[in-house]
Structure 1
Amino acid sequence: MERQALLRQVAAAILELPATEVLRVAVDGVDGAGKTHFADELAHALQPSGRPLIRASVDGFHNPRAVRYRRGRGSPEGFFRDSYDYAKLKEVLLDPLSPGGSRRFRRAAFDHASDAPVEAPLEEALPGSILIFDGIFLHRPELRGYWDYSVFLEVGFEVSIPRGAQRGPGYGSPDPHAESNRRYVEGQKLYLSECNPKAHASVVINNENLTAPYFVAVD
């Protein structure tokens, strides 16, 4: 399917949802699935609606390095269970943007590059806003109840790992079977098996061919 046509269909489905003060949309998938790019494109497709848009990512809510690696730097379980501070994510972003919330939110709380907290500006969402939030592991049980609509991008590791490595130096080997990728591949397999994100997503989209993604399943 032509990419822009697919994005317009997803945007239309979101705009047909029952009105809430803030619609919360998740874009999930494994590392290298194309989540950030898809979420940015989806925001662009929603712009003609005139609805205020909020873009944020789970990458603004990492745990400190000492927590992320407490099970060992090569631990797949550590990658799955310890990478992100979900309590802080809920406190400063998801709970305020949920029904009955204050609508006063922050887009990030931690910078993993400097391994330090950040004091992101306190913002107030306008009524009718749409949050578009991208990241891995977004259909964990403690998160999936927050989403009014969610996308899961289906991409095999034989595609996602080389794609991720193309980001540049420091992004690892393009070989999915390389020992340096074991933490990430096996950690994401834990997520897929324990949380079954495709069963909980509003829509599953195969994003292996970036120019011709296609719908796999629609809730």
Structure 2
Amino acid sequence: MLSPARSRILAQVADAIPDHGRGFVRVGVDGPDGSGKTTLADELATTLRDRGRPVVRVSIDDFHQVRALRHRRGRDSPEGFWSDSYDYPRFRADVLDPFGPDGTGRYRPVAHDLATDARLEPDPRPAPPGTVLIVDGIFLHRDELAGSWDFSLFLEVPFTETARRMAARDGTPPDPADPGMRRYVDGQRLYFAACAPWRRATWVIDNTDPAAPVLSRA
């Protein structure tokens, strides 16, 4: 059951997402690891579907580079995390372009299996006219994806809290200053310095308390 404050935020976001009639709409949900992107994106998708809008959900995590490329600078490298994690050309070709202004709506939702490290080539799926594409993931406001979003969110959560959530979810160290968290925390800091995603996002939401998210900029 969603809290009243969370339900209000989701309704506000749903109200603000453009309606292009039979055209597609691309929505990005960005934020650090552990900020609650996937959960919020899923809840937003449900909110929009309840309003009768068709929705496609995709995660950037299904477009990782293969391990040899992802870890070529070292498994603990923040620069590698920031620069080498994802296959952006494939993500654009399989997801963003099909949902663009001249897109066909025929998209591929995945390109890589993280467990097996296999590249994937699924058959394209059709999306109905007027579909809202909702993508969750880190680094969604980087230069390679600039201009891709009709509406976007950036979730603000301090590293002390995201590290605690990641520890509970993944078994990583709960202290963001731990050397075991250097790849993730310092990689995010590289992103912040290069792109200031809170400035590029349409709206910024403080999601430190998931039960009481706060719209900090719209």
TM-score normalised per structure 1: 0.95
Match of 2:15 among 9, 12, 15: 12
| In structure 2, distance between residues paired with 1:126 and 1:18 | 13
Paired position in structure 2 for 1:215: 215
Q: Secondary structure at the match of 1:51?
A: coil
Give the aligned residue type for 1:131.
Answer: L
Paired position in structure 1 for 2:133: 131
**Contact 1:165/1:174, CA 8 A, preserved across alignment:** yes
Q: Following superposition, which runs of at least 4 residues in structure 1 exceed 6 angstroms of deviation? A: none
CA shift, 1:18, in A, is 4.4
| In structure 2, distance between residues paired with 1:27 and 1:19 | 22
CA shift, 1:206, in A, is 0.1
Give the aligned residue type for 1:111.
Answer: D
**Contact 1:20/1:99, CA 8 A, preserved across alignment:** no
CA shift, 1:106, in A, is 0.5
| In structure 1, distance between residues paired with 2:192 and 2:60 | 18
CA shift, 1:17, in A, is 4.3
Paired position in structure 1 for 2:74: 72
**Contact 2:29/2:37, CA 8 A, preserved across alignment:** yes
| In structure 2, distance between residues paired with 1:175 and 1:212 | 24
Paired position in structure 1 for 2:46: 44
CA RMSD in angstroms comes to 1.2
Match of 1:106 among 90, 105, 108: 108
CA shift, 1:51, in A, is 1.4
Per-residue Cα deviation, 1:76-103 (whole angstroms, up to 9, x for no partner): 0000000000010011111111111221
Q: Secondary structure at the match of 1:167?
A: helix
The answer to whether 1:186 aligns with 2:189 is: no
| In structure 2, distance between residues paired with 1:178 and 1:19 | 49
Per-residue Cα deviation, 1:88-128 (whole angstroms, up to 9, x for no partner): 00111111111112211010110111111123341111110
Paired position in structure 1 for 2:147: 145
Match of 2:93 among 87, 91, 96: 91
Q: Secondary structure at the match of 2:90?
A: helix
Give the aligned residue type for 1:200.
Answer: R
**Identity between Structure 1 and Structure 2 (%):** 49
CA shift, 1:20, in A, is 5.7
| In structure 1, distance between residues paired with 2:185 and 2:97 | 30
TM-score normalised per structure 2: 0.95
Paired position in structure 2 for 1:2: 5
Instruction: Structure 2: state its 5+ residue gaps.
Output: none
CA shift, 1:21, in A, is 1.3
| In structure 1, distance between residues paired with 2:20 and 2:96 | 19
Q: Secondary structure at the match of 1:25?
A: strand
**Contact 2:63/2:87, CA 8 A, preserved across alignment:** yes
Per-residue Cα deviation, 1:191-215 (whole angstroms, up to 9, x for no partner): 0110110001010000000100001
For these two proteins, the number of residue pairs brought into alignment is 215
Instruction: Structure 1: state its 5+ residue gaps.
Output: none
